[in-house]
Structures are given as structure tokens and as C-alpha cells.
Amino acid sequence: MHFHTQYLTFNTKKHREYLNITPEVEKAVNASGMAEGMVLVSAMHITSGVFVNDAESGLLQDIDEWLEHLAPFRENYRHHRTGETNGDAHLKSLLVHHEVILPITRGKLDLGPWQQVYYAEFDGQRVKRLVIKVMGE
């Protein structure tokens, strides 16, 4: 088994933002030269996440509203006693998870017809990283 690792860096303009990173993941798969295997896409921060879904702006707004409903910003999270004010971002990250594993078939990212890979930022406007690790032959 062979491995190829790439990192992406983000500094979002908004506090919460959803970025389609499918092209960057495809570039990493292509650069790896692997024909069969899998790729791990993992946010390296506990207030961000990675998920797979449709690239449709209305759906992204629905996802954002749903997450805000389930884990709303509020001032009385116990986590805020540490001096932080991002308790909701930690909870939102738990809901979407911090990573996905995707198949590689015949040298290509093997997604369904509407599937796209998203980086979800819940505590943005500062530098964050993500790792793409391609594994296979």
C-alpha cells in the first residue's frame, strides 16, 4: 500500500461557511497516481468538519439552519468558562463529523452523481487546516 498526503489551509471570510473542496480532493487523488484505494479527508480542528452532500445552495442554507437550530450560538455554554465563545461550533462539528473516507476506482474519486465534498467551518475568520491522505495502489 502506498500513501500520499496533502494539506489545505483555510481562512474563511465568515464565521460559518461551507466550502466545496471536491476539486482539491480530486487533485490530490490525481497527484497520488493511485488507481485503487481510498482517500481520507479530515478537518484538523475541533470546530470544523467535513461532509458529503449535494452542491445546491438551498440545501446548504437548510443544513446551516438545521445545525444552528440543533446547536445554537448562546452565551451560557459551560465551555465558555474557559474564555472561549465557540461552544456551539464544537457541537456543530460533532453533528457533521470531522472526516470522510471516499473510494478511489480506476484512478478517480468514486462519488455518486450529485455527491460533493464540503469543508464546514463553524468558528472561522482564522487559519485552519485539513489533511487529505490518499491510500492505495
Instruction: Say how many domains are in the chain.
Output: 1
Q: What's the confidence (pLDDT) of residue 131?
A: 98
Q: Count of alpha carbons within 13 Å of 3, Cβ hemisphere only?
A: 6
Chain centroid offset of residue 54 CA: 14
CA distance to 17, 75, 127, per residue, from 23 (Å)? 17, 37, 20
Q: Which pLDDT tens digit goes with each residue over 72-99?
A: 999 999 999 999 999 999 999 999 999 9
CATH of the domain at 121: 2.60.120.460
Domain boundaries, position 62:
2-136
DSSP letter for 97, please: -
Q: What is the pTM of this model?
A: 0.95
Q: Is 39 helix (H, G, I), strand (E, B) or coil?
A: strand
Q: Which pLDDT tens digit goes with each residue over 104-125?
A: 999 999 999 999 999 999 999 9
